[in-house]
A and B are shown apart, each in its own frame.
Chain A
Amino acid sequence: MKEAMKSRIHLYEQCGHYVLVDVNSGAVHLIDRMIYDIMDIFDGTNDERVKQELAGKYEEAELDEALGELKELIDEKLLFAPDIEVPPTFKQKGVVKSLCLMVAQDCNMRCKYCFGDGGSYGQERAVMSPEVGKAAVDFLLKNAGLRKHFEIDFFGGEPLMNMKTVKAVTNYVHQKEKELNVHFKLTMTTNGLLLNEENRTWLNDNNLSLVLSTDGRKDVHDRMRPDAGGQGTYDRVMKNFKAMVDSRNGENYYMRGTYTKHNLDFTKDVLDMNDKGFDILSVEPVVAKDAPDYALTDAELPRIYEEYDRLTEAYMKRRREGRGFFFFHFNMDLSNGPCIAKRLAGCGSGHEYYAVSENGDLYPCHQFVGRGKYKLGDVFNGVNHPEVSQYFRESHVLNKPKCRDCWARFFCSGGCHANADLFNGDIREPWDTGCSIQRKRLESAILVQALMHEEGLSNDNEQA
């Protein structure tokens, strides 16, 4: 097949199913083995070559029929759809829409894989003042253009260690919503240790979405997520998470975990969370460099691929049994996904999304906090390195050599800049191992959605 055509499709086999993805249209086709074999050769024009190469394997009449079906897809622009270049809808400059507030650069846990050095991000432990928090909201609104929907994530460290600022910022946001007719979605990512009744009530009353961090099974969690004194935290946080989720009718949260080399059987962790009564779940690969005991490398990839197959089957099994759960990365709207402009903008770090450190400094995202060369300004004076911001804006998949021909380019949008910088010192050179995992996870998600569609299963949680 011609190289140009090869980069327009992706062909894979998983869990006994054959899938053909048309990259530039986003079309997903479940295919049989014969089409799978044909597509290894077919470039839209070379029918005769296909027939020659597969003559011993399939009848000519069958091949003609299959090629006819493929031609229909081409006519409908669902196969080999034309390449996509930067459209005019992708504005030259980004407009700020989301902030991550590091309200506490301090933490009551010492998770072994923490990219924030135990919450401090390599700096002195400190918390954000209400004044800095409110100035961050002003910075967002001042740079938001005509947008009406914004997001602020209270992050850390552990944000519950600084409820004074969380509350002050939330009240300020509510005030601004009324004044300006805008809408903020507020989220908090917490380790759960301080989720007491008072905090639970406040979080519910103020409609904060929650990301609840746990790694799944008790031994897996306790190994990587000890408290500041080195003690396991599983029993304490799970008790608090249960009370929290029950108090909001099982809604408006995500339970998320990190898998490492220690738990490559992470399907068990996902199912354990579900068995404990939680059904909005996410488990993701650890990002770590120079941590030989738990970091993920290419050597782990075959095992990780196998595990995503296992997770795919476990996910479908529970869906078919009417006791399905959400797994964040398997949720995908194949028909009404984001527009191309969004797929190019990606996470928006450094141009639509900024992290604000406890003292008000601006960074492209929370993971860049403490990496001095990425300090872009502060919330009081705005961005003073617009050229860096613009570099982030233009670091989309069509400008990344490794991404341009990758089939996953419009699904992953080029991966995480912070990870690329960590591993390769260049935000335009993605972390290869992460890309490999990402592609497998996307294949799994696409297959899950294709099967759900075929079997008439709903994406809603039966229990939710």
Chain B
Amino acid sequence: MKHIKTVNKPSMQSTLMTGGCGECQASCQSACKTSCTVGNQPCASRK
């Protein structure tokens, strides 16, 4: 494409039916820990 560069192959929609195993790391969102916003976590089962 000339005007758009898509930079990722997102998987979010495909996880609607397949996710939820819960084996991933907890993700604190406060400012007192190394607080992972959920979005910057890798998926533990697809790593």
Contact = CB atoms under 8 A, between A and B. Distances in A.
Interface of A: 20, 22, 24-32, 34-35, 65-66, 69-70, 72-73, 77-78, 81-82, 84, 87-91, 95, 97-98, 115, 147-149, 151, 153, 155, 185, 189, 211, 254, 256, 258, 282, 284-287, 328-343, 345-348, 352-353, 365-367, 410-413, 415-416, 418-419, 438, 441-442, 445, 449-450, 453-454
Contacts of B35: 282, 284, 328, 416
Contact of A342 (B3, B24, B28): B24
A338 B5 contact: no
25 contacts: A29-B5, A30-B4, A30-B7, A31-B5, A32-B4, A35-B4, A87-B16, A87-B20, A89-B16, A89-B20, A90-B20, A148-B23, A256-B33, A282-B34, A329-B40, A333-B41, A339-B12, A340-B19, A341-B19, A346-B27, A411-B37, A413-B29, A419-B30, A441-B37, A453-B8
B42 to A, nearest CB: 5
B45 to A, nearest CB: 9
Interface string B1-21: 111111111111101111110
Nearest to A367: B30
A109 B9 CA distance: 46
B19 to A, nearest CB: 2
B8 A338 contact: no
Say whether chain A's binding surface is mostly helix, strand, loop, or mixed.
Answer: mixed
Nearest to A451: B7
Contact of B32 (A115, A254, A342, A412): A115
B42 A337 contact: yes
A29 B15 CA distance: 21
Contacts of A337: 10-12, 39-43
Contacts of A73: 4, 6
A69 B3 contact: yes
Interface of B: 1-13, 15-20, 22-44, 46-47
Contacts of A35: 3-4
Residue among A29, A84, A115, A336 with most chain B CB within 10 A: A336
Given A148-B23, A352-B26, A334 B16 contact: no
Nearest to A114: B32
Contact of B38 (A98, A413, A441): A413
A147 B44 CA distance: 12
Contact of A339 (B8, B15, B30): B15
Contacts of A72: 1
B32 A28 contact: no
B39 A442 contact: yes
B43 A151 contact: no
Contacts of B28: 347, 353, 365, 416
B9 to A, nearest CB: 5
